[in-house]
Amino acid sequence: MTEEKSIFITATDTGVGKTTVCGLLLRFLLEHSIKAGYQKWASTGDRENPADLESCLQTAGLKVDPTILELQVPYRFDFPASPHLSAELENREIDPEKIISAYQTMSADHEVLIVEGVGGLLVPLTRDLLLADLLAQLQIPTIIVARSGLGTLNHTLLTIESLRSRKIPLGGVIFTDGEDDNETLVVDNMKTIAKIGQVEVLGRLPYYPNLQDLFKSFTPVGEKILKQINPTVP
């Protein structure tokens, strides 16, 4: 691969598993000799040590590099809330141009840049700018991480609709299991979202406390994403 590409990982809500997916995908790409990187435009509740950055890199077998922290997480705030509020509480405001500059710099330095979203797609970065609208400006192909179980239909279909209404390229949906999801419900949820949303289901990640088992289950998902990135892959 020679041309740099990017993938945006969003989720239907907070705590669905997008950081874990980012880490698994980063590890998968690195193990396939692809120069991949990770970026999160805003992190709240952990200004000094962004938790999602650390968790993602740890999953991929990497450590935080303080020398590129400003590029990897351009905005970091103490208060755990939507970025617009966290910024206001520190008398700051998110400048989209700073995010775009950091994105372009990191994207140019990697074959694949994985960008993790902040909460859901319609989270405000400022009082006048939604995350989805900045994403639409940059036109980054986006993958949705969704819960497998109860409540996922509405959230996932709304997220698909939000992406399509902004003409943001949609790469598919990855479902993540909870500890006690009902199998009949999960299977129907995946089938229903695929049909109504007219979207590719990239796979389903079972609930595994063990990272090695989780990564093994992610491999078929990673292969589908790699095929999207590089259609010449057999």
**Count of Cβ atoms closer than 10 Å to residue 98 Cβ:** 13
Q: What's the longest Cα–Cα distance across the chain?
A: 51
Q: Which two tokens stand for residue 144?
A: 């949705």
> Rounded to whole angstroms, how far apart are CA atoms 127 and 11?
21
Q: Which two tokens stand for residue 137?
A: 């400006």
> Rounded to whole angstroms, how far apart are CA atoms 104 and 205?
31
In sequence order, the β-bridge partners of residue 39 are 115
> Rounded to whole angstroms, how far apart are CA atoms 7 and 169?
10
Of the listed 5, 18, 35, 40, which one is catalytic?
40
Strands (E), the chain: 5-11, 36-40, 42-44, 75-77, 112-116, 124-126, 129-130, 142-147, 170-176, 201-205
The helix (H) or strand (E) run that includes residue 9 is: strand 5-11
40 is an active site residue: yes
Indicate which residues carry an active-site annotation: 40
